[in-house]
Every structure is written in structure tokens, then in C-alpha cells.
Structure 1
């Protein structure tokens, strides 16, 4: 749970820097447009998806 919260904070910062919408981020990162909204509602992200999300943000800097 804690890891998901840290990841959500990183995603939020990324979205602010890039101006990207939540749904576009989720779609591009892991093909799930509800990703960020679901995480805000408590969805826990597994290690594989967390790694894909981190990789996406690292590969597309603001």
C-alpha cells in the first residue's frame, strides 16, 4: 500500500509537469485509462505494473 502511495505522488508530480491528463497517462503507461483515478480510490498496483509506470515516466521526461 505504501509503495502505491509513493508511486501515486510521483505520477501526480509527472502530470503537473507535463500537463498530461490522468486518463492519457494511464492509457500510455499501461493501457488503462482508469489507472490514476483507481489508484486515488485505493487500487494497489502490483510490482510489474509499477515497474512499467516508472519506466514510462523515465522514458518520457517533462
Structure 2
């Protein structure tokens, strides 16, 4: 659940729609919706999501 809270905070801060986040981070537009419904991503997917958020924030808002 920690990852979902981090994603939700990222979405709120950036104003990015959940579907765009999932598509850009891991090519899965349903990622956030599925996580809200209990989906637990694997370690590899967690790493990809965290990398995407870190890279996006370090580059500044697009």
C-alpha cells in the first residue's frame, strides 16, 4: 500500500491523470485503478514506477 500512497501523492502534485501515469510508467493505463482495487505489483514493476516518478520530478513538470 505504501507505493499506492506515493503514486496518489504524485498524481495530486503533478495533476497527471491516473491512466496517463500508468501508460507512461509501465505501459498499463489500468495500473492505478487496479492498485486501488487491491492489485499488488511485483518488485520489478515497483522499481519501474519509482524510477518513472523520480525521473519525472528531476526533469521538472512537462
**TM-score, normalised to structure 2's length?**
0.91
* Deviation of 1:37 (Å): 0.2
Partner of 2:44: 48
SS in 2 for 1:27: helix
Deviations 1:30-53 (A, max 9, x none): 000000000000001000000000
Q: Whole-Å Cα distance in 1 between the matches of residues 39 and 9 of structure 2?
A: 19
Displaced runs of 4+ in structure 1, greater than 3 A?
none
Higher relative contact order (CA 8 A, sep 6+): 1
Give the total of aligned pairs.
58
Q: Which runs of 5+ in 1 are unaligned?
A: none
Q: Which runs of 5+ in 2 are unaligned?
A: none
RMSD between aligned alpha carbons? Answer: 0.7
* Deviation of 1:25 (Å): 0.1
Partner of 1:8: 4
